[in-house]
Amino acid sequence: MKYLSVQETAAHLTACESAEILIHRSPDGDCIGSGYALLYALRQMGKKARVVCHDPIPERYHFMLPEVQTLELFHPELIVAVDVADEKLLGDGLLEQYTGKIDLCIDHHISNTEYAEALCLDGQAAAAAQVLYAVLKEMPVTITKEIAACLYTGLATDTGCFMYDNVSPRTLRIAAEIMEQHPDIPYAQINRNMFIVKSMGRIRLDQLLAGQLESALDGQCMLICVTRSLMEEYGLDESELEGIAGFPLQVEGVQVGIVMKEREKGVFKVSMRSADWVNVSAICQTLGGGGHIKAAGCTINGSAEEAKRILIDAVAKGMAKA
């Protein structure tokens, strides 16, 4: 494995005749935007390119795809992974097919497992799209409207619309440059579809979750317990419950948000989130789990009431220590 600079990466891509672009499973706005921005850039240079993903591209991201979906048959000279921190994130099937065969990875995850032969990594970048913008600027490529829309979507996705602490002055300036060169892209509409619009099912789920909020430790800890019986009552499956870990943190005054999901009878998979200063990784470690300072997890066995008591005790101790 060798690290490539932005210039070396640009030269590598410019030299190839064809490329297969791999993005991670459960694709989001950043890997789709970055993957297709690279595809458009390579095609602009007369090269063959295709994007490969384990899962279908969700409909709200279809505006980034080529108008005519051509199935290009070619044997790729270069296999490039974009926004893929770990080969495993390619998903089953693709993992077996591509493991050990990836020539180049363009990424922004500091945790990148260095699986590719060459790696262009900027762990400070807010999004893969931010790294890719730098690479494309070093290639003989025009940032067309379609490339611009893809890169903007990547930047917006991974920053929560420029909200999170991964935003740097550079992130904002790239968005400014894109907007200046392409004032006719419907940025606000893209943001609305990504950040505001929800399916009716998701609205009903939020409504249900709001009804399950339980307050502990004078409102400093908010907890949601999703039992098997609740899931059965409302016909929820596991996949619908992805991404709800942050829900309790939206309540004013909360420091620690907990979501407990009953995986099987009496076994709770716990996600713990910190709003600010509480180290939830340390708390989850006392319960046999772990993770990041602001996002951690563990598994608790017992009844829902026992599990809640154990969790709240651990949070109280963790907060007292800090």
Q: Region of 79 please: left (phi>0), alpha (psi -120 to 50) or beta.
A: beta
Rounded least distance, CB 167 to its own copies, Å: 7
Rounded least distance, CB 213 to its own copies, Å: 7
Distance from C-alpha of 31 to C-alpha of 33, rounded to nearest angstrom: 6
CB of 172 or CB of 312, closer to its own copies: 172
Q: Region of 160 please: left (phi>0), alpha (psi -120 to 50) or beta.
A: left
Rounded least distance, CB 199 to its own copies, Å: 5
Task: Figure out which of the listed residues 1, 210, 293, 322 binds its own copies, where binding follows CB under 8 A.
Answer: 210
Span from 2-10, 108-116, 174-182, 223-231 in contact with its own copies (CB under 8 A):
174-182
Distance from C-alpha of 244 to C-alpha of 273, rounded to nearest angstrom: 11
Number of residues lying near its own copies (CB under 8 A): 44
Task: Figure out which of the listed residues 3, 74, 164, 234 binds its own copies, where binding follows CB under 8 A.
Answer: 164
Residue 2, SS3 per DSSP: strand
Residue 239-258 contact track with its own copies, rule CB under 8 A, x = bound: ----------xxxx------
Q: What's the token pair of residue 184?
A: 């006719």
Q: What's the token pair of residue 2?
A: 């060798």
Residue 275 touches its own copies, criterion: CB under 8 A: yes
Q: Region of 319 please: left (phi>0), alpha (psi -120 to 50) or beta.
A: alpha
Residue 292 touches its own copies, criterion: CB under 8 A: no
**What letter does residue 259 receive in the DSSP assignment?**
E
Residue 62 touches its own copies, criterion: CB under 8 A: no
Please, how many CA atoms are within 13 Å of residue 90, restricted to the half-sphere of its CB? 26
CB of 13 or CB of 275, closer to its own copies: 275
Sequence-distant (≥ 6) Cβ neighbours of residue 206 within 8 angstroms:
198, 247
**Residues within the interface to its own copies (CB under 8 A):** 160-165, 167-170, 172-173, 175-177, 179-180, 186-189, 191-192, 195-200, 203-204, 206-207, 210-211, 213, 215, 219, 249-252, 275-276
